[in-house]
């Protein structure tokens, strides 16, 4: 499902691609290989680009409004990882 749409919607909501990134993250994956494959097949982007988009979404209030459970879970995980690196 490669949307090719990185532009925000006219109503100020998330783009289709941003929504698709969050949808991939909501899914439970049996292992990293399956997730990487799904990123390429569903979104048509590299895993590196996916994680760049995902990290930007975690700081976007529109993403929080769209999917608060997923965004808050990922923010907690990111904060925990940052704390371990220090």
Q: What is the DSSP string of 12-61?
A: S---HHHHHHHHHHHS--SSHHHHHHHIIIII-S-HHHHHHHHHHHHT-H
pLDDT in tens, the chain (86 residues): 333 445 555 566 899 999 999 999 999 888 879 999 999 999 999 999 999 999 999 999 999 999 999 999 999 999 998 888 77
Compute the chain's Rg from CA coordinates: 13
**What pLDDT is attached to residue 2?**
36
Q: Is the pTM of this model over 0.95?
A: no
**What pLDDT is attached to residue 29?**
87
């Amino acid at each position: 499902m490669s949307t090719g749409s990185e532009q925000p919607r006219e109503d100020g909501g998330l783009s289709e691609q941003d929504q698709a990134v969050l949808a991939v993250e909501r899914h439970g994956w049996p292992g990293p290989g399956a997730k990487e494959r799904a990123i390429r097949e569903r979104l048509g982007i590299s895993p590196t680009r996916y994680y760049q988009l995902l990290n930007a979404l975690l700081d976007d209030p529109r993403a929080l409004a769209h999917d608060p459970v997923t965004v808050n879970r990922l923010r907690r995980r990111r904060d925990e990882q940052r704390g371990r690196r220090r």
